[in-house]
Structure 1
Amino acid sequence: MASFTSFLKRKDIIISGKRYGIDALGAMAQGLFCSLLIGTIINTIGVQLHISALSQTVATIGGIKYTVGGLAMAMGGPAMACAIGYALAAPPLVLFSLITVGFASNALGGAGGPLAVLFVAIIAAECGKAVSKETKVDILVTPSVTIGIGIALSWLIAPALGNAAMKMGDIIMWATELQPLLMGIIVAVVVGIALTLPISSAAICAAL
């Protein structure tokens, strides 16, 4: 047990509510802002101010047309995963591998993708950190473990996490329509509490 604890300490793997619920969640919100939210802002500016450079298609990938903001929004998953990895002090090979993990978990999580990214990226990052620099072929082992575990978890749990987030969001919307005043107060109080605590209300709301 002592050797396992010392191994975790050597690898900077700290299993705690602060590390995952505050540091990782806060960083995730920054990744969300630098991709999905800033992309939405760019799109809105382009449309409202009739700026063709921002509102016209700049790339077509797989039959899907993207504006400048659309490209930023499409990178939401990778940006959030990398931000989470940064908060967990992931070494370079793990951090860069999280780009793939974030894309997979966000895509498979559907509308509740951010919640899936949070869970999957944390587990994949910690597993990647555990094997990092433990072999002479680190450049092969570390990305393989990080991406392999990340993709497997994305396939196994991302859809369920996405559905859970969607159902919770649907319940909130339904309750707000049923009792707009009461539920408006409850939602405002809950988000207000989140704002005063050292956690990211933006990341929580985006996940739901």
Structure 2
Amino acid sequence: AGCCAQMVGFAVMSFRENGWGGLVAQGVGTSMLQMPNIVKNPRIWIPPTLASAITGPMATCLFRLEMNGTAVSSGMGTCGFVGQIGVYTGWVNDIASGAKTAITAMDWAGLVLICFVLPAVLSWAFCALLRKWGWIRENDLKLEM
């Protein structure tokens, strides 16, 4: 949940500066592309970090999402959708072992909300507030590609 919030958060926050290429590069690639910008203005890290703080507990306490795939999947976020594939693999393994009878609509809703929708909405909202306060300025999130 935390890695997804960083990747999706930076992708959505920087859409006005980076367009579709930046959205895909950060959202399905890596948010580490923003590292030079974080060094210049660490405040740009606040919105996705707040989104992480909200979605992490929701993932475990509300939706009971678990990473049951390979351990390496845990820190991958949305990079190549490895994290989501890891969660899905865990669901399939649980069904095969008899620990779960089926993948439910609530499972899918949790995965989509925690990995994509909430990080996008929360990071965008927090970023808008920080832009209003002048903490994040135009081109603070611009990628040099």
TM-score normalised by L of structure 1: 0.23
User: What is the TM-score when the length of structure 2 is the normalising length?
Assistant: 0.30
Rg larger in structure:
1
Structure showing greater relative contact order (alpha-carbon pairs closer than 8 Å, 6 or more residues apart):
2
